[in-house]
């Protein structure tokens, strides 16, 4: 199974990322140990130069991580044909349960990586780089996560046996069952819609308020709405958005929409949701960092961009996911 082109490139990509992260962590430890912002010794200048190397290395590595998350989903999608009973990525992930764990870690890494890259950029724009210690400490936490991701990925692909009979999305994402997913799938559409639209609505309102007012309370609030919106939207995709996309009243799979016969519509949906959440979280995360004067200046300068990104991404997410609801011939409500 390892010799599938997609799997080969995922595994070699993981190895490469890990290598880059290890080099960066090695340098990071040296910087952490002897960093002294007030000093102007030659050693400090060399360290300052090395921070550029570390950030470039990590930027590339984490950039790959973002692509690798999408490639992983696409590969799980592609190999489903090899398993009896599988009809989309769900089947491939069910064929070896470690797959779900890989997906979870990739999800966490996706956010952690993006946050690190953005905060690092922010820090490097300042004169005094006040976040050096926190950044490199976070880097030392990220590297084991990248290693774990690579290891689990290897375990997942190693453990895939083509003769396994797996279950398709129809049985996992169905209304009758005991799991959380079944609860979501079985939730009445009207309630789910109400929850989803009120949540995205709240997010948009808080976003607009943040754009208009500088009040400190709004930023953590936006962080909360962004995180809640992420989970509720994922639930809504399983609960009713998928039904509209497939135009089938009982098909709740969140992965089938990544296939070509649905026009790969899942990719822009998930990408927009990711961007909306990420940029929605940023102002809240930067709130405690405002104690550093230089960071505060930078945040003030760039925050509006983040808010606009989040706003546009939320609108695009809503537009794509609700397009069928408004213009499609399929009706879910009214019976």
Partner 1 sequence: MRRQLKILEYTLSSLIRRKAKNFSLIVVYAFTIATLGSVLFLTHALKEEATGSLTEAPALTVQRISAGRHDLIPTHYTTTIKHLPGVKSVTPRVWGYYYDSLIKANLTLIGSNNPPAELLLLDGNLPENPQECAIGKGVADAFGPAIGDNLVLEDNEQKSNRFKITGIFQAESSLLTNDLVILPETTLRTFFSMDPEMATDLVVEVYNPREIKTLAKKIKYLLPDTRPISRDEILHTYDTLFNWRSGMMLAVAIAALISFCILAWDKATGISATEKQEIGILKALGWETADVLTAKFWEGLVLSLTSFLLGILAAWIHVFVFAAPALVPLLKGWSVLFPKFQLTPAIDFYQLFVLAFLTIGPYLVCTIIPSWKTAVTDPEQIMRG
List residues near partner 1 by CB under 8 A.
2-10, 12-13, 16, 20, 49, 52-53, 56-57, 60, 64, 67-68, 70-71, 74-75, 77-79, 81-82, 84, 124, 162, 264
What's the min distance (Å) between Cβ of 138 and partner 1?
Answer: 20
Q: Give Dmax (Cα) for the chain.
A: 76
What's the min distance (Å) between Cβ of 63 and partner 1?
Answer: 9
What's the min distance (Å) between Cβ of 245 and partner 1?
Answer: 19
Collapsing DSSP states into helix, strand and coil, what is residue 81?
Answer: helix
Q: Which pair of tokens denotes residue 301?
A: 């300068």
Q: Which pair of tokens denotes residue 293?
A: 């004067």
Helices (H), ranges, the chain: 5-34, 42-78, 89-95, 98-125, 132-158, 169-172, 180-186, 189-212, 218-236, 242-246, 266-286, 293-327
**C-alpha–C-alpha distance, residues 335 and 328, integer Å:** 17
- φ/ψ of 165, rounded to 5, equals -95, 115
Separation of CA 293 from chain center: 30
Residue with Cβ nearer partner 1 (47 or 229): 47
Q: Which pair of tokens denotes residue 287?
A: 């709130």
What's the min distance (Å) between Cβ of 170 and partner 1?
Answer: 12
Give burial (CB, 10 Å; 0-12/13-18/19+) of 21.
buried
Q: Which pair of tokens denotes residue 135?
A: 């950044």
Residue with Cβ nearer partner 1 (251 or 332): 251
What's the min distance (Å) between Cβ of 82 and partner 1?
Answer: 6
Residue with Cβ nearer partner 1 (19 or 205): 19
Residue with Cβ nearer partner 1 (22 or 189): 22
Residue with Cβ nearer partner 1 (80 or 219): 80
What's the min distance (Å) between Cβ of 38 and partner 1?
Answer: 21
**C-alpha–C-alpha distance, residues 279 and 234, integer Å:** 17
- φ/ψ of 74, rounded to 5, equals -65, -35
- C-beta atoms surrounding 324 within 10 Å: 17
Residue with Cβ nearer partner 1 (6 or 268): 6
Residue with Cβ nearer partner 1 (10 or 229): 10
What's the min distance (Å) between Cβ of 198 and partner 1?
Answer: 35
């Amino acid at each position: 199974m390892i010799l599938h082109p997609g799997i080969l490139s995922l595994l070699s990509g993981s190895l490469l990322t890990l290598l880059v992260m290890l080099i960066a962590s090695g340098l990071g430890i040296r910087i952490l140990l002897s960093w002294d912002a007030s000093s102007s010794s030659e050693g400090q200048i060399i360290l300052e130069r090395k921070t550029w190397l570390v950030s470039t290395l990590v930027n590339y590595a984490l950039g790959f991580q973002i692509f690798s998350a999408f490639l992983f989903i696409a590969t799980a999608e592609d190999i489903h044909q090899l398993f009896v009973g599988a009809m989309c990525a769900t089947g491939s992930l069910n064929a070896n349960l470690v797959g779900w764990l890989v997906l979870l870690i990739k999800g966490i890494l996706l956010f952690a990586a993006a946050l690190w890259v953005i905060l690092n950029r922010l820090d490097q724009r300042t004169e005094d780089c006040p976040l050096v210690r926190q950044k490199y400490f976070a880097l030392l936490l990220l590297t084991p996560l990248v290693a774990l991701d690579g290891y689990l990925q290897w375990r997942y692909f190693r453990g895939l046996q083509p003769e396994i009979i797996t279950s398709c999305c129809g049985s996992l994402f169905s209304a009758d069952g005991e799991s959380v997913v079944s609860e979501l799938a079985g939730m009445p559409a009207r309630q789910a819609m109400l929850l989803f639209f009120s949540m995205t609505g709240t997010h948009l309102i808080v976003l607009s308020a943040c754009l208009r007012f500088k009040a400190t309370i709004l930023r953590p609030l936006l962080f909360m709405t962004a995180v809640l919106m992420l989970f509720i939207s994922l639930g809504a995709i399983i609960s009713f958005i998928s039904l509209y996309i497939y135009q089938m009243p009982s098909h709740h799979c969140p992965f089938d929409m990544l296939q070509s016969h649905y026009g790969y519509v899942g990719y822009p949906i998930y990408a927009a949701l990711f961007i909306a959440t990420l940029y929605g979280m940023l102002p809240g995360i930067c709130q405690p960092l405002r104690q550093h004067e230089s960071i505060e200046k930078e945040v003030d300068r760039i925050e509006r961009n983040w808010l606009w990104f989040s706003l546009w991404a939320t609108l695009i997410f809503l537009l794509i996911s609700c397009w069928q609801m408004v213009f499609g011939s399929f009706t879910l409500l009214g019976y």
